[in-house]
Chains A and B, each alone.
Chain A
Amino acid sequence: MNHSLKPPAWVDKVIDSLSPTDLSEEIRGDLYEMFVKDILNKNIQYARRRYVLNGVGFLFKSFFWKKSPYQPKPTPMLSTHFKMARRSLAAQKGNTVINVLGLVAGIAATLVILAVVRFELSFDTFHAGADRIYRMVRVSGDDMSEFRTGISYPVPVAIKEEIPGLNNMNTTAMEYFGGANVDVIDKSGTTLRRFREESGATLVDPSFFKVFDFGKGGLTWLSGNPDKSLVEPLSIVLTRSYAKKYFGDENPIGQTLRLQKRYDAQVTGVVEDFPNNTEFPFSILLSYSSLTKLNPGAPNEWTGVNDGHSVYIRLPEGMTQADMEKQIARVHAAHASKELSSSRHYLLQPLSNVHFDARFGTFSGRTISRETILALELIALFLLLTGCINYINLATAQSVLRSKEIGLRKVMGSNRKNLVIQFLIETFMVVLGAGVIALGLSEALIIALQPILNLRLTHYNFTDPAVILLLAAIVAVLTLVSGFYPAWTISRFHPIDALRNTFATERLGGISLRKVLVVFQFTITQVLVVGTFIVVSQMQFFQNVDMGFNRDAIISVRVPDRSAAGIKVLADKLRALSSVARVSFSYTLPSGVNRSHSYQDIGKPEAKEMKDYVVFEYGSIDSAYLGLFQLKLLAGRNLNAADSSRNILINQQLANSLHLGTPEEALGQQLKWNGQIMTVVGVVNNYFMNSLKEGYDNIAMRTEPGSYSTVSIKLQTTEGKSLIQAVKDIEKIWKENFPDHLFSYQFFDENIRAFYAQETKYAQLFQLFALLFLLIGCLGLYGLITFVVNRKGKEVAIRKVLGANVRQILVMFSREYVQMVALSFVLAVPVAYYVVDSWLSNFAYHIPLSWWRFVLPGVLVLVIALVIVSTKSARTANANPVDKLKYE
């Protein structure tokens, strides 16, 4: 027959693969016979067509699908597999528990980490066209090293007018002032309730809701609407929970709130609470037009900047980021002085970067770098991997115990495929069990760890289909990864060898792999333990390092009444308290997160151009300030009440920056500041105004009583009185003096600690992870050593009979593990060094990376491993050899 006259091959394939094997032959035979006849009677096309039609016809016949009765049916076999798996898992309870525990720890941690990562990645991704929204940022300094978010007030107005394509639909300015005194007042003007809000108060333009639509359906307006409610000056929109907080069940619309004790604002709308995953954590929305009342001079101030004042732009179609930046620079140059526009650059930052770029601040006060997210994901991966490694190690080690079962199965006709399936099912049951427990555990963990993770999740993991799907994927992958290798090696046993039980553990091909896996596992563990140790050391360094001032037992409170008389009354009353040691009034605190910043320029009297000046942090202090914070005078004298505002104190850093020479030489020198000539009367030591992540700043201070907005109080702690009691005393005075103001104080040391809130959280998190790795690794080690010790009982007995002592036997057992842990330490050090070194380089001041910081945690891990191995082997080593040998 002609070879080109062949039937369509795919039909044959379909029939072969779908039909019972004993049917496919006759079916294809019949089809072929008809095909040949069709060719002879008609033509090839007809024959082919009929072949396909007839072939496909079989697919619709029920007999075609009936499996042959001679084939073992997989369904009952599958249930047997499950039964066997259950039995063998129950028979090796210890192992099962270790495996499940290791996997539970890994999976639960992974679920928690992924919940965090998902939350962090979801920030502000829901706005329509989010990829075209940009935040205006301010980059300044000669080397473009200063990254800020504040935009001068006239900038948004000017760019809307002068850049074609920009208007109220795609440009919005807002000012986040965060903290506010909010009083609820009734019609007659009487204050009903007072509140102090530390965050959430914002000036918002109606265009905010044009640029940010908050995704599908947007934010629901319960009353009022985005176009009208925020137009009039001093109109307020509250979120639902804040409306409830202020007015309970009353209708909030038309009510009056008094802000900062001065401005009466009308509530004109209520909006649904803002989502948790937004960089706009607003709760009190004051109309942006209120700026004319709150800060009348602002609109013409091109130089001054408030970092809370942000501008967002949605790029018009057809415009690129670079185009827009050019346009903004053009507008800025047209209005601002040449010096300003050449040293200050308004650039654009994509909205998608706002949450991940720590150089700029955010309203929510939290950013997370993409590296951190990657690190978290890697940790999740490694945690899962260590769980798998435990399983692989234990399963291959234990396999020798099951050699009889496998031999018998093979003799009885089981093939390799069946055995592999059986072992995979066993693995699956372990992993599935672990997965289910882990799901519950992760839920509890997420709730318990919310403060550390700074995570605000609104729904449960259980009900999230994505999480369930993810868990299913994790279970499937883990089953394959951890089950396949053991299944493969175990099913490879030769039945005769298996039945004669001639295996020694060492001869099971898994031994070298097992060592590799243990080393790998401990390498990761050591990297984390070493890393965590150094991170924690650095955190402690932050807490304990001398920042140049004293921070113990000091509280600070905002001063409501800045008049000289008011300050005097308050100071006298406070000083009269036995629990108060010192009192000082100043513009701001020497350091801490919650304080006012004011940057200004200072230069020598002959300074003309911008570059002749240096930027410094301004402080206004009284004579008690240096004493209270224990700042040291290096030269000159303290400021006193009689000093004019022309006499200034500077710090050593400023003296250096302006090349004033030694502290003594700096005394009496003249400096130009704000067009006025100042005289240096004293030089103080350098101290950190900001966190240790940054270096020393230039600082200059003078007395300016009108600007005292903070009172610092050093508490008397020696009398055996508690700090709490002292604070209560102060609060009492406060209430007498300022019945209208809530007493809200802050401990200075906590204020400083807040610099490192983020780092502290990560440090805690990493401690947790290191512990987890150690736990899983030790579980695995415990399982392995248990097995080895049990197997080698007879060997130990013979060795003892022949004269070995307990110590030699312990050494015999632990040598291998000590070697492995030591090797993993050697591997871990370079990795840990690289990671830790790059982390520490974030901080201007950090601990030195001495060798002992690596060796100490390494030795710790080694000791833990050794303790586990030797306690477990000690029992065997101490056992009476007779018990082991007498049955032989």
Chain B
Amino acid sequence: MSSRIYLGELEELILLMVALLNKEAYGVTVAEELKAQANRELSISAIHAVLHRLEEKGFVKSKMGGASTERGGRRKRLFSITAHGRNALEELRDTRNLIWNLIAKTTTL
């Protein structure tokens, strides 16, 4: 079960962004997407930190992309979600859904 999945709120959010960006995820795009979708402004270093942590935990994998002039000729590291990452996200979503369903049945908000 999900007891072995440790995903913080921010980690989950960024993992979602990586999934959303679909192989176009790297520091800057993740930051922009976070701003656009969740209205969260995070420093680029924080995003890198989370991405590295996710990679260590095996939720994302990375490879170096091509160089582009807008980056001053530097390559970017492109992140994509692993199957393990996708499973984790789904499990989290399922757990939440299950609980939301229970809430809807027993109480009125």
Q: Mark A residues whose CB is within 8 Å of B.
A: 25-34, 36-37, 53-54, 57-58, 60-64
Q: Which residue of the partner chain, among A34, A57, A64, contacts B28 with CB atoms under 8 Å?
A: A34
Partner of A61, one of B26, B28, B48, B74: B48
User: What are the 8 A-B residue pairs with the smallest beta carbon separation, nearest first?
Assistant: A29-B74, A57-B45, A30-B27, A29-B71, A63-B52, A58-B45, A26-B77, A32-B72
Say yes or no: B45 contacts A60, CB within 8 Å: yes
Given the interface pairs A30-B28, A33-B28, A63-B52, the reply to whether A57 lies near B46 with Cβ below 8 Å is yes
In the complex, B96 has a CB within 8 A of chain A:
no
The listed residue (B31, B43, B53, B76) touching A29 by CB distance below 8 A is: B76
The complex places the Cα of A58 from the Cα of B71 at a distance, in Å, of: 18
Q: How many angstroms between the C-alpha atoms of A62 and B50 in the bound complex?
A: 11
Tell me the minimal C-beta distance from A56 to chain B in angstroms: 8
A14–chain B nearest beta-carbon distance, Å: 13
Task: Show 29 residue pairs from A and B whose CB-CB distance is below 8 angstroms, ordered by the A residue.
Answer: A25-B74, A26-B26, A26-B74, A26-B76, A27-B27, A28-B72, A28-B74, A29-B71, A29-B74, A29-B76, A30-B44, A30-B71, A30-B76, A31-B44, A34-B28, A36-B70, A54-B43, A54-B45, A57-B43, A57-B44, A57-B45, A57-B46, A58-B48, A61-B49, A63-B48, A63-B49, A63-B52, A64-B48, A64-B49
For A58, list chain B residues within 8 Å (CB): 45, 48
Residue of A nearest to B67 (CB): A29
Q: Are A30 and B26 in touch, CB under 8 angstroms?
A: yes
- In the complex, how many angstroms separate the beta carbon of B43 from the nearest chain A beta carbon? 5
Q: Which of A25, A27, A34, A53 contacts B48 (CB 8 A)?
A: A27
**CB-CB contacts below 8 Å: B26-61 with A:** 26-28, 31, 43-46, 48-49, 52-53
Task: Write the nearest CB–CB distance from B61 to chain A, whole angstroms.
Answer: 15
Question: For the complex, what is the distance from the CA of A25 to the CA of B77, rounded to whole Å?
Answer: 9
How far is the CB of A9 from the nearest CB of chain B, in Å?
Answer: 12
Q: In this assembly, does B75 line the interface, its C-beta being within 8 Å of a C-beta of chain A?
A: yes
Main secondary structure of the interface of A (DSSP, over half): helix
**Distance A27 CA – B27 CA, assembled complex (angstroms):** 8
Nearest residue (CB) in A for B64 is A26
User: Distance in Å from the Cβ of A720 to the closest Cβ of chain B?
Assistant: 99
CA distance A31 to B74 in the complex (A): 11
Instruction: Identify which of B49, B53, B64, B71 gathers the most chain A CB atoms within 10 Å of its CB.
Output: B71
Known contacts being A26-B77, A57-B44, is A32 close to B52, with CB within 8 Å?
Answer: no
Highest count of chain B CB atoms <10 Å: which of A29, A37, A57: A29
**B31 closest partner in A (C-beta):** A34
**Which residues of the other chain, A, contact B70 by a CB distance below 8 angstroms?**
33, 36
Q: For residue A60, which residue of chain B has the nearest CB?
A: B45
Main secondary structure of the interface of B (DSSP, over half): helix
Give, as a whole number of angstroms, the nearest-CB distance from B103 to chain A: 37
- Please report the C-alpha to C-alpha distance between residue A26 and residue B63 in the assembled complex, in whole angstroms: 11
> What residues of B have a CB within 8 angstroms of the CB of A29 in the complex?
71-72, 74-76
Set of chain B residues within 8 Å of A57, measured between Cβ atoms: 43-46
Give Cα A60–Cα B46 distance, bound, in whole angstroms: 9
Cβ of A37 to closest chain B Cβ, rounded Å: 8
Bound complex: CA of A64 vs CA of B53, how far in Å?
A: 11
Contact (A61, B46) CB under 8 Å given A26-B26, A33-B28, A34-B28? yes
Rounded to whole angstroms, the CA-CA distance of A36 and B48 in the bound complex is 19
In the assembled complex, the Cα of A30 lies from the Cα of B53 at a distance in Å of 18
The answer to whether B45 touches A26 (Cβ under 8 A) is: no
**Per-residue 0/1 for B6-36: is the Cβ within 8 Å of any A Cβ (1 yes, 0 no)?**
0000000000000000000011100100000
B45 x A32 contact (CB < 8 A)? no
Cα–Cα distance between A29 and B31 once the two chains are bound (Å): 14
* Cβ–Cβ < 8 Å partners of B26 in chain A: 26, 30
Q: Given A31-B44, A33-B28, A33-B70 in contact, is the A26-B49 Cβ separation under 8 Å?
A: no
Could you tell me the distance between the alpha carbons of A36 and B28 in the complex, rounded to whole angstroms? 12
Additional pairs, 14, CB under 8 Å, beyond known A33-B71, A34-B28, A54-B45: A26-B64, A30-B26, A30-B27, A30-B76, A33-B28, A53-B43, A54-B43, A54-B44, A57-B43, A57-B46, A58-B45, A58-B48, A63-B52, A64-B48
Complex CA gap A64/B52 in Å reads 10
Q: List B contacts of A25 (CB < 8 A).
A: 74-75
Chain B contacts of A27 at CB under 8 A? 27, 48
Q: Complex Cα distance A414/B53, Å?
A: 33
Q: How far is the CB of B65 from chain A (nearest CB, A)?
A: 9
| Residues in B whose Cβ lies below 8 Å from that of A34 | 28, 31, 44
* Alpha-carbon gap, A53 to B27, bound state (A): 16
Which partner residue on chain B sits nearest A30 by CB separation?
B27
Contact B71 A32 (CB under 8 A): yes
User: Could you say which residues of chain A place their CB within 8 Å of the CB of B27?
Assistant: 26-27, 30
User: Is B45 within 8 A of A61, CB to CB?
Assistant: yes
Q: Which residues of A contact B28 (CB under 8 A)?
A: 30, 33-34, 37
B-chain residues with CB within 8 Å of residue A26 when the two chains form the complex: 26-27, 64, 74-77
Q: In the complex, which residues of chain A have a beta carbon less than 8 angstroms from the beta carbon of B49? A: 61-64
The answer for the CA separation of A360 and B96 in the assembled complex, in Å, is 99
**Are B48 and A30 neighbours in the complex by a CB distance under 8 Å?**
yes
Quick one: CB contact mask for B58-101 with A, threshold 8 Å, 1 for yes?
Answer: 00000010000011101111000000000000000000000000
Q: Can you name the residue of chain A whose Cβ is closest to the Cβ of B51?
A: A63
Chain B residues with Cβ under 8 A from A32's Cβ? 71-72, 74
Residue among A26, A32, A34, A62 with the highest chain B CB neighbour number at 10 A: A26
Complex interface: chain A residues within 8 A of B64 (CB): 26
Chain A nearest Cβ from B59, distance in angstroms: 15
Interface centre among A25, A30, A53 (most CB of B within 10 A): A30
A775–B33 alpha-carbon span in the complex (Å): 78
Chain A residues, Cβ within 8 Å of B52: 63
Interchain CA distance A834-B43 in the complex, whole Å: 74
Bound complex: CA A29 to CA B73 (Å): 8
**Chain B residues positioned under 8 Å from A28 (CB to CB):** 72, 74
Which residue of the partner chain A has the closest CB to B45? A57
Complex-state Cα separation, A329 to B101, whole angstroms = 113
Once the chains are docked, how many angstroms separate the CA of A539 from the CA of B70? 86
What CA separation (Å) do A57 and B41 show in the bound complex?
A: 14
Chain B's nearest CB lies how many Å from the CB of A457? 57
A residues less than 8 Å from B74 (CB atoms): 25-26, 28-29, 32
Contacts of B75 in A (CB 8 A): 25-26, 29
Least CB distance from B76 to A in Å reads 5
Cβ of B72 to closest chain A Cβ, rounded Å: 4
Task: Determine the chain B residues whose CB is within 8 A of the CB of A64 once the complex forms.
Answer: 45, 48-49
Choice from A31, A33, A36, A63 contacting B53 with Cβ under 8 Å:
A63
Q: How far, in angstroms, from A54 to B49 measured CA to CA in the complex?
A: 12
Nearest A-chain residue to B69, judged by Cβ: A1
- CA gap between A57 and B27 in the complex, in Å: 14
Q: Shortest CB–CB separation between residue A434 and chain B, in angstroms?
A: 47
Q: Which of B26, B44, B70, B77 neighbours the largest number of chain A CB atoms within 10 Å of its CB?
A: B44
Q: How far in angstroms is the closest Cβ of chain B from A285? A: 73
Cβ distance A278 to chain B, nearest Cβ, rounded Å: 63
Q: B76: which A residues are within 8 A, CB to CB? A: 26, 29-30
Which of B31, B64, B77 has the most chain A CB within a 10 Å cutoff? B77
Q: How far is the CA of A30 from the CA of B27 in the complex (A)?
A: 6
Name B43's closest neighbour in chain A (CB-CB).
Answer: A57
**CB of A59, distance to nearest CB on chain B (Å):** 8
Q: Shortest beta-carbon distance, B45 to chain A, in Å? A: 4
Smallest CB gap from A27: residue in B: B48
In the complex, chain A residues whose CB is within 8 Å of the CB of B31 = 34
Contacts of A31 in B (CB 8 A): 44
Query: Could you tell me the distance between the alpha carbons of A29 and B75 in the complex, rounded to whole angstroms?
Result: 7
Chain B nearest CB: distance from A347 CB in Å?
73
Closest to A34 in B: B28
> Nearest Cβ distance between residue B9 and chain A, in whole angstroms?
18
**Which of B27, B43, B72, B76 has the most chain A CB within a 10 Å cutoff?**
B72
Q: In the complex, A352 Cα to B72 Cα: how many Å? A: 66
Min CB distance, A527 to chain B, in Å?
63
